[in-house]
Copies of this chain bind each other. A is one copy, B any other.
């Protein structure tokens, strides 16, 4: 049950000129389930991405990074993205690279492009060989079904333990030109992205120069997917891809161009929506928490403290129980690794309730006020460090019985 996350409405997801989407039910893990996705791009498209920093980064991640780099110099742009669910193709060594490459070769042949113009992505179980033959067998069905108005199906096709698809569209006017953007994301466990989330794709129909897009994707990821955590487990397959199809009228060639900031903010807002949707649908989630750490000496220390709170199993179970056992938050702040933190200046708020004042219990704090906030489905934890002007926000969910059930049963 996702927290305050209504199902996307298919008719409200806007096609992005320059992107066509097809899918297949290839039977990779379970029958009768969309598990292969092809996103075909216009030749005018630029693509940029950020990927997991996990040292066990999956074979498709390694290949996608290589193909993105090659596209920048070869003059042959990325032509399609290929995603499979049901198998992560991670922890699979040389064989994994070879199998991922086979799928690229097969799709490239059917689209009449080079294999290096295909970006592969996988999500699912780690340490098991990719059933490449099944992926390849699904490609004709996916290609036959390619169409622009297919984003809802795309969101469904990348789901694993997600309970609902995650997708959103925006139309913004920038420099007098209308820009349409649509994105999808997936992920519910093994979520503590480090440069990106499990899988996120966002396409827009402006023309954006490659260096600008590279900058834009980093900015958007740092303010969205890199601010969420469900269980602190950074995946082997995290990838967030930003596609500018070039099919629209807006063209951005430099980050100095006034329109850049507007596009950046719009892309970041949609990215944050998609990232939050992952937390709202976190495995077993019953609560959505925004953890805001303010008045820090640096963004880095604010993030350390916010993640320390967001990862604490004790904090997360207290939220699950709606129990204002808020000393657990202080403990998590204390072990966050900010070695010179003066806790005697620290203040803690739960929504509008001032819980801890100058490092101790606020004399005016009443248990029933904490209780009132803890019962809500959405809660803001605000920590004021009194050390400076930096701030950071992390989004997370609670730790429930269902998290244990889902992850104890995931493969069975």
Residues in A lying within 8 Å of B, measured CB to CB: 52-57, 88, 90-96, 125-129, 189-190, 192, 194, 231-236, 311-314, 317-318, 320-321, 323, 325-328, 330-336, 338-339, 341, 343-344, 355-356, 358-361, 399-401, 403-405, 407-412
Q: For A96, give its contact among B95, B232, B312, B360 (CB under 8 Å).
A: B360
Chain A interface main SS type: loop
A408–B398 CA distance with the chains assembled, in angstroms: 11
Q: For A91, give its contact among B88, B338, B359 (CB under 8 Å).
A: B359
Residue contact B408 to A330, C-beta cutoff 8 Å: no
Residue contact A408 to B317, C-beta cutoff 8 Å: yes
Residue contact B408 to A321, C-beta cutoff 8 Å: yes
**Given A95-B360, A399-B404, A232:B313 Cβ within 8 A:** yes
A369 to chain B, nearest CB (A): 14
Residue contact A236 to B93, C-beta cutoff 8 Å: no
A-B contact pairs, 15 of them (CB 8 A): A55-B335, A56-B331, A56-B343, A91-B356, A92-B360, A93-B359, A129-B361, A190-B328, A233-B314, A313-B399, A313-B407, A318-B407, A320-B408, A321-B408, A325-B411
Residue contact A331 to B236, C-beta cutoff 8 Å: yes
A320–B404 CA distance with the chains assembled, in angstroms: 9
A231–B410 CA distance with the chains assembled, in angstroms: 21
A209 to chain B, nearest CB (A): 31
Residue contact A404 to B404, C-beta cutoff 8 Å: yes
Q: Which residues of B contact A90 (CB under 8 A)?
A: 327, 330-331
Q: Which residues of B contact A335 (CB under 8 A)?
A: 52-55, 192, 194, 233-234
Q: For A344, give its contact among B52, B93, B326, B339 (CB under 8 Å).
A: B93
Interface centre among A52, A189, A401 (most CB of B within 10 A): A401
Residue contact B54 to A331, C-beta cutoff 8 Å: yes
Residue contact A325 to B410, C-beta cutoff 8 Å: yes
A275 to chain B, nearest CB (A): 18
Using CB atoms, name the residue of chain B closest to A56.
B334
**Given A127-B326, A356-B127, A331:B234 Cβ within 8 A:** yes
Residue contact A332 to B233, C-beta cutoff 8 Å: yes
Q: Which residues of B contact A400 (CB under 8 A)?
A: 404
Q: For A361, give its contact among B91, B359, B407 (CB under 8 Å).
A: B91
Q: For A343, give its contact among B55, B126, B313, B412 (CB under 8 Å).
A: B55
